[in-house]
Chain A
């Protein structure tokens, strides 16, 4: 692995916070190294001269895949809630936010 730190400790902590993840010290070091090697690879890619190349917005050679505006089947509520860790009546139940 590179000696250079591509991702700073602050950035790594910020990303972890946005993803709602908590890491031990060892895990954090490990993550920074792995993230760093991904970013390093990106830096390699960025060296390529892309002058005159249209930006890629999607990898599939497809456009305009649509469905008609026709109602179809919905999930029975019991099945929709089957995997909910907590529920109350007909609803999912989640911790309060804010």
Chain B
């Protein structure tokens, strides 16, 4: 049987986190009534002049730096011409021959410990299109469309990889890595389900003994990395079967159908791509000099790989624990905030990945959206360490702070959780227990050391669980040995 190799390149569109559109001051907030976040510029009315949003440029450069790209000192905008009613102007403003970032990469760790070096060809700035609402049940039987231009001209970056990816698994991992990097860099919300991050796949298959790449197919309508994975597996199989049966692959765009788990032909490439790009005369070129570049680089936060490295080598966390924290920026930020005040990395990580993660799962919330305060949590941990409160009580205090916020000290006091660690007070309790339990005391002194556990239990019971058990044990031992 012939062996086949798969070659995959990915294209991402990420909405930049700006307050306003790329060439006008309309707000980018989602959820407005249709056609209320529009103005003459983004509606493409005659005689208007677009002006570039400086923050969008900075975010694109940050994305480039985070993805190891070269930043172009000089870049410019072009018009991509096509007629589709989601574009009010009849063209999309984008960057064609001179993108703002180029030649980057992500080093993707593979399951076998090796690394896949996936090159990024380019990142360019462009405007998003509007949203078309179609009449009828399906687009095929709709009679007309209702364009909503609230999304038109929201700033996007398009990120294009080289065809360096070889499997569905790698494509999914690459997407997840890229998503996390953009999230850490703070350039985009990267919510695939809401469309602020989109991914298209270019895929071809060829016999292993053939040097030339096969005919590539583009897959669109992928709304999660799970869809990316499934669509690649489906398409890989479809193309292999075509080739094995003596057929050939047609260069085309196919749509992923989530429900049926299949890709379907949408349009063939030849008639779709004649965009007649030309320079956008209304926008002047962008020059990013060394000083501006340095200023932007300065603002770039710590990225996932650096944070993972720091958690492991500086703080001594295991690779697994560090990875579990890094994958959630709110969790990792909270970890850092707590660690500054309570510098015992392993203990903090255990609480975060244990009880706090459980509470987050139960409430389906993100850590930055709950009232739990990092400094109050650090205080709670230090009280546990001092022995001022026991582990079980601490969990109750944590749950209360998680749900309602508040100060650890007040919650401990309100519940009477303060552990008795005053040796004078405990000594009195110990003496009472020794008098009341003559038989176990005698047993212990006769050599039955297990009796100690019973006596500790009695002191705990007498203090309603608030005695510091380690101190009780110590005091009991001292008393039992000395009077022997």
Contact surface of A with B, Cβ cutoff 8 Å? 14, 18, 20, 57-60, 62-75, 77, 80-81, 86, 88-98
Contact = CB atoms under 8 A, between A and B. Distances in A.
Given A67-B53, A96-B145, A97-B84, A74 B284 contact: no
B115 interface: no
Interface in B183-208: none
Contacts of B19: 69-71
B147 A91 contact: yes
17 contacts: A20-B83, A57-B76, A64-B286, A65-B283, A67-B51, A67-B53, A67-B54, A69-B53, A69-B56, A72-B26, A75-B43, A77-B35, A90-B33, A94-B146, A94-B147, A95-B144, A96-B144
Contact of A67 (B25, B132, B145): B25
Nearest to B43: A80
A18 B276 contact: yes
Contacts of A98: 139-140
B27 interface: yes
Which 6 A-B pairs have CB atoms at the shortest separation, nearest pair first? A72-B25, A91-B146, A69-B55, A66-B54, A94-B85, A67-B51
Nearest to B280: A58
B51 A74 contact: no
A96 B81 CA distance: 19
A91 B131 CA distance: 11
B333 interface: no
A13 to B, nearest CB: 13
A91 to B, nearest CB: 4
B53 A96 contact: no
Given A66-B57, A93-B146, A96-B143, A74 B286 contact: no
B285 A57 contact: yes
A71 B20 contact: yes
B407 interface: no
Contacts of A62: 284
A14 B26 CA distance: 37
Contact of B37 (A57, A63, A74): A74
A25 B274 CA distance: 24
A12 to B, nearest CB: 14
Given A57-B285, A58-B76, A66 B51 contact: yes
B457 interface: no
A88 B132 CA distance: 13
Contact of A63 (B36, B140, B284): B284
Contacts of B81: 18
Nearest to B146: A91
A80 B35 contact: yes
A63 B283 CA distance: 9
B145 A58 contact: no
B144 A81 contact: no
Nearest to B271: A17
A63 B147 contact: no
B445 interface: no
Interface in B273-326: 274, 276, 279, 281, 283-287
Given A66-B57, A96-B142, A71 B85 contact: no
Contacts of A65: 51-52, 283-284
